[in-house]
Amino acid sequence: MSEVLHLCATTRLAQARRSALPDDVAQPWLTPQVLTLRQWLAALADEALLSGMALPLPLDGDAEQVLWTQVIEASLADQSPLFDAPGLAATAMEAQGLCRRWRLAVGQGSDEARLFADWQAAFERRCQAAGWIDPAGLEMCVLEALANGHLAVPAQIVLHGFDRLTGLEERLFAVLAERGCTVLPAAVDPPAGQKIAVWAAPDREAECHAAVAWAAAWLARQPSARLGIVVPDLASVRDRLAYLLGDALHPASLRPEAGELPRCFNFSLGQPLAERPLVATALSLLALAAGRRKIEQSRLSTLLLGGFWSLAEGEADGRAQLAARMRRDLPYLTSVRALIRLADRLAGRGELACPGTVAALAAGCGHLAEAERRLLPSQWGEQFQQALAGFAWPGERPLSSHEYQARHAFDDLLSGLGRYDVLLGPLSQAEALARLRALCLQRVFQPETRGQPAIQVLGVLESAGLQFDGLWVLGMNDDVWPPAPRPNPLLPVEAQRAAGSAHASAEVELDFARRVHARLLLAAAETHFSYARAEGNRLLRPSPLLSGLPAAVDCTVRVKTLAARLTEEAAGSACQWLDDAQAPPLTPGERVEGGSALLRAQAICPAWAFYQYRLAARALDAPQEGLPPSARGSLLHRVLEHVWGELQSSAQLQALSAAGRVATIERAVEAGLLAFEDDRQAPLPQRFRTLEAARLRQLVDRWLDVEMARPQAFTVIAREREAVVDIEGIAVRMVIDRIDRLADGAQLVIDYKTGQAIDTANWGRERLTEPQLPIYAALLADQVAGVAFAKVRIDGSAFVGVCDVKDRLPGVPGIGDARQKIFPAAVFADWPAVIAHWQRQLRAIAREVANGEAGVVVHDLAGLQYCEVLPLLRLAEGRRWQAQQNREEGE
């Protein structure tokens, strides 16, 4: 064993020192002893225990936070429940560490400081009773043992990367010096021929582009280079840098199957274990099994469409179909049991099959349902493992390297729950799962990197002691560097400032930033500093620490991304333009679904009709709490169908007494609700059913007042009549809500609507965007004298439409009436002219469908409100292309 111990400020630096090769690799060499200070003190504590020295059991960070949380919750039991006990516990942990490492006194000053003194006393009583100690306290015990002449010390200690020593570290090294150990900082020689530049970028995005472009250029000319990108606020730009580095240096990694290919860059900032997809799925499955209440469909849908459990690949189609049917057939808040019943029912009808998934849901949820109500954390760990096995987690396919590492880390947490048996005692299932989720959020996960990446992206602390061929320090703005002070709120501010503890004051932060800045200046032969001039609408300034360096140079270099390279290649080659406005014409006998909605979509935008009705593309139903507007409209149709099935005519309506009218409406509402529930194959929740019935009774009662005011007697001769009409070889299927016959034999076609805005102006134009009523009037019947929408609403119920003459319906004008503006008298002299216009336009639109016209030509932008295939129309792309064409024509 070497007599020289190298102590490093960070784990990353220690790994780099251990893997470094000597100058002369031809000769045998001793591997240097390299540890972090915390690792060395822990090893000394183990040595003390082995030698028979009595030391308390050290708490790890998670256990310490749990204990602080318990102490704080007990102290604040009579206070407001709005206190964030876990957040206060994290602050108390930091305060305890500051007290240990900087010898800060507590109990004086603010109310918060006195409160923390009480918490600290309670915390230490709990620790003493159980034989525990916090990590900083253990370091003090080791320091005391060293001061008393116990434990062996090396002949020499070399310090690497320590920007600033804490009070405890200063005392430790003083004790070691008294024991005869030589403690000295590692020598760092200024690099020869050093180049330093300062860059000013327009914004943070441009700054990231410049740093990545610099790294790419370095590696292009020297692939073996060791480069560093250091960012004080790395979390704010991590995703942006990761995307640009991957796009510029590993464009092939954008493919899903190449997601874990080795990269030439590495980030020091990991992500919470809970955010790894494999672990997130496990936590979601356990939450699903542990839940006793109904859950949102979105949670079930995420699990069904995701992987890492059961037959995610083998039953992918069946699971996707089940998720889609769940949106349509189950309420917004549902249960696993309801989902399993739906899957069994659909499988029985042969509509879908995912038996493995259904069995896994039943097994996983059933296991936790049978567990005892309160168990120790270690027992819950076993129950959770067995439940996940029931769910067949982590799935059928082999795990990748990163996934395997994430599973191993998660299994460690599950098996390690036993550490909390004494601390927490028996827990409920929800409490145990909440503890596991908190541990997964606190555990930072970083997949192991293969080899030594050429580019290291680091925070300022992680960069301590590292040397590079080239270094780019990004984000050198005065609002970030030096960092703002943040003294611990539970300790007296004056005491923190007097001790010079970490983050205590602006002076402390400035001193720290200067030390780091001086170290970065010696870290590479080529060093670049950059800052952003603005971020959004906010102007930014450079850090004052950049003063004295070369003047800033404007930086506008941008990474040439894969998309930019492909665009350039396409522009430089002979592109073949395809006219996608023309689809294949209909073949003889080809059926097109959609009915009048097909012609409506064609009239608004031909591409809509092609995608939705010929290619059968459609949006998934969006789960909603309660009934969606379309379902409420269908329910109203059912109720009005029953009303007129009983009344038959205006004469019977007029003859009803007040009580008879109420009874008729009540019977119709109940019959409509029963029919609606039978179609859904699921009853409505009783409370919601009661409210919906009251709404329908009021709505129908208001509408019957409008029917009572009609000037001409009528008989209802058809309700929800199905009809098929051939238009230019297209069989258009439709359902007519209602047809009335007047005393003179004329017929009125009525369509119920519940919306506020109803468009009838299109009936006099070339493209009929509301074609259902014109289809029936112009192509199916000979005696139709008027068409109208029945606008059934609590407020503003009315008929909206047009008739051959006025006074057939209240408020509906006739063709010769001066009030109507839809059909100009110069063009439409009489009702037959209107019918002829509708016949021409309906056949023209149908011919477009038959001929395969499918261009993205929007004739009615407002009509796209209910388009289910809107993303496929690429309207934004079309607008950009048109703007570019206009610019080119203007030039």
pLDDT tens for residues 8-62?
999 989 988 887 756 555 566 677 899 999 999 999 999 999 988 889 999 988 8
What type of residue sits at position 519?
Answer: R
- Kindly state the average pLDDT of the residues 226-234: 95
In sequence order, the β-bridge partners of residue 221 are none
- Predicted pLDDT of residue 670: 95
pLDDT reading at 290 higher than 90: no
Q: Rounded to whole angstroms, how far apart are CA atoms 116 and 106?
A: 8
The pLDDT value given to residue 589: 82
- Please write the tens of the pLDDT for every residue from 305-339: 999 999 999 999 999 999 999 988 888 888 999 99
Does residue 627 or residue 26 have the better pLDDT?
627
**Does residue 2 carry a pLDDT above 60?**
no
Tell me what pLDDT residue 631 has: 84
Q: 407: how many CB neighbours lie within 10 A of its CB?
A: 18
Which of 637, 638, 656 has the alpha carbon at shortest distance from 647? Answer: 656
pLDDT of residue 570: 67
CA neighbor of 730 nearest in space, from 600, 595, 617, 623: 595
pLDDT at 571 over 80: no
Distance CA 698, CA 680 (A): 24
Which of 196-200, 826-830, 877-881 is predicted with the least confidence, judged by mean pLDDT? 877-881
Give the pLDDT score at 1: 40
pLDDT at 572: 61
At 228, is the pLDDT very low, low, confident or very high (cuts 50, 70, 90)? very high
Q: Say whether pLDDT at 623 is over 50.
A: yes
* pLDDT for res 54: 87
pTM score, two decimals? 0.81
Q: Both tokens of residue 398?
A: 């082999």
Q: How far apart are the first and last CA of the chain?
A: 78
Phi and psi dihedrals of 848, rounded to 5?
A: -60, -45
Per-residue pLDDT tens over the stretch 456-498: 999 999 999 999 999 999 999 999 999 999 999 999 999 999 9
Tens of pLDDT, residue by residue over 693-703, are 999 999 999 99
Q: At what angle do helices 85-102 and 111-130 cross, to 10 degrees?
A: 80
Q: What percent of the chain has pLDDT over 90?
A: 68
Residue 888 CA to residue 884 CA, distance in Å, equals: 6
Tell me the CA distances in angstroms from 96 to 117, 123, 162, 501, one per residue in order.
10, 10, 22, 12
Residue 466 corresponds to which amino acid?
Answer: L
How far apart are alpha carbons 248 and 454 in whole angstroms? 14
- pLDDT attached to residue 658: 94
Rounded Cα distance, 524 and 512, in Å: 20
User: Taking all residues of the chain, what is their mean pLDDT, rounded to a whole number?
Assistant: 90
User: For the segment 236-274, what is each residue's pLDDT rounded down to a tens digit?
Assistant: 999 999 999 998 998 887 777 777 778 889 898 888 999
Q: Give me the mean pLDDT over the 760-767 stretch.
A: 91
3-state helix, strand, coil split of the chain in percent (to 5) is 50, 15, 35
Distance CA 495, CA 262 (A): 49
554 vs 107, more confident: 554
Neighbouring CB atoms inside 10 A of 313's CB total 11
pLDDT band at 621; cut points 50, 70, 90: confident
**Closest Cα to residue 263, out of 243, 276, 246, 247?**
246
Angle at 741 between CA 736 and CA 747, to 5 degrees: 65
Confidence at 204, pLDDT banded by 50, 70, 90 = very high
**Confidence tier at 837 by pLDDT (50, 70, 90):** very high
Average pLDDT value for residue range 385-402:
93
